[in-house]
Amino acid sequence: MSSIANLARAPDLTPRDWLEAGQTLLRRGGLRALKLRPLAEELRVSTGSFYHHFTDFDAYQGRLAEYFADTQISELVEAIRRAEAEPVARIRLLAQTVRRRGLSRLSIAMRAWAESDPRAKQSVERHDDIVLGFLTDCVAANGFDRHDAAVRAYALMMLGLGKLHAPHLHMPTLMEELIGILARRA
């Protein structure tokens, strides 16, 4: 009895609900998982309700790509700037939020999608500009010149995207140690 018709009706959905559900599917299974039926099942609605918000699936994918950088990451960075004044604490808060929300997995899925869709590519590039700019500002505020701050920001971002097997390192504290090394002056 898992047909969509038997699912409990979700409250009135917004386009953002559909976009968030799409990101959930991307995190779980990449672009292959992003299809209308699984999307509707994720939201517990019929596929027909999709068309109240989007003209077709291609338009939806375009909005999903835009949402990643132009809404989601922009809002996150601005919220962190408002919430925390100290630069290294801002970096920590970004790292914690990225980890908690599964944004590294989403970013990896977006990067794979960007290989075949110029809309996703543009969004990933915009995402990177926003995050690298934010991290560069944070590191520069600790006394590094812009170039050194940008190199350190790049390293922090790459570390956040990487999933390397290193059993000799204590993973729960590794990012904190790396932030200390890359973002603080000796």
Q: Do 86 and 164 belong together in one domain?
A: yes
The answer for residues whose C-beta is within 8 angstroms of residue 163's C-beta and 6 or more apart is 104
Q: Do 156 and 90 belong together in one domain?
A: yes
Q: How far apart are CA 120 and CA 151, in angstroms?
A: 25
- Structural domain of residue 169, as residue ranges? 65-183
Q: What is the CATH number of the domain that holds 27?
A: 1.10.10
- pTM of the model as a whole: 0.84
Q: Do 72 and 13 belong together in one domain?
A: no
Mean pLDDT, range 154-161, rounded to an integer: 84
Q: Do 100 and 128 belong together in one domain?
A: yes
Q: Do 47 and 73 belong together in one domain?
A: no
pLDDT surpasses 50 at 36: yes
Phi-psi region of 110 (alpha: psi -120 to 50; beta: other; left: phi over 0): alpha
Structural domain contains residue 147 = yes
Q: If you write DSSP's letter for every residue of 112-133 in order, what string do you get?
A: HHHTT-HHHHHHHHHHHHHHHH
- Residues 158-181: tens digit of each pLDDT: 887 666 656 777 777 777 888 888
Q: Do 70 and 48 belong together in one domain?
A: no
Average pLDDT value for the chain: 88
Structural domain contains residue 103 = yes
Q: How far apart are CA 146 and CA 18, in angstroms?
A: 39
